[in-house]
Homo-oligomer: A and B are copies of this chain.
Amino acid sequence: METNDAIAALTALGHAKRLAIFRLLVVAGPVGRMAGDIGDELGMPGATLSFHLKELANAGLITAEPQGRFVCYRAAFDAMNGLIAYLTYNCCAGSTGAACTPGSAICQPGDGC
């Protein structure tokens, strides 16, 4: 992931509503969610939702697939992992000190963290 892509992704995520949308899609997984479904769950007007969905799509963080009248949005997991890799790349100049354990904090429900 290039610097400009990382900036675009971080800018897109640095907003309450967009982060909520993205998290919803991350949890939803590869199945994705319909646009209206997202709007209902997050309680935002269609115009506002569409604006933020476009921002996320432009940043490469989500993808849109029209299905008839509906549009299915999905998180772009490659982009998410690429962003994480960008943030932590060459952490502490590559040394493996205690402070630099990128990814060590990743956990899932039930992991006890």
Interface of A with B (CB < 8 Å)?
A: 3, 6-7, 10-16, 19-20, 23, 26-30, 77-78, 80-85, 87-95, 97, 99-110, 113
Contacts and interface: CB of A to CB of B under 8 A. Distances in A.
A84 B107 contact: no
Contact of A80 (B88, B94, B108): B88
25 contacts: A6-B19, A7-B16, A10-B13, A10-B15, A12-B14, A13-B87, A27-B90, A27-B92, A29-B95, A29-B99, A29-B100, A30-B100, A77-B101, A80-B102, A81-B101, A81-B102, A81-B105, A84-B84, A84-B88, A84-B103, A88-B106, A90-B108, A94-B109, A94-B110, A102-B103
Contact of A77 (B27, B77, B100): B100
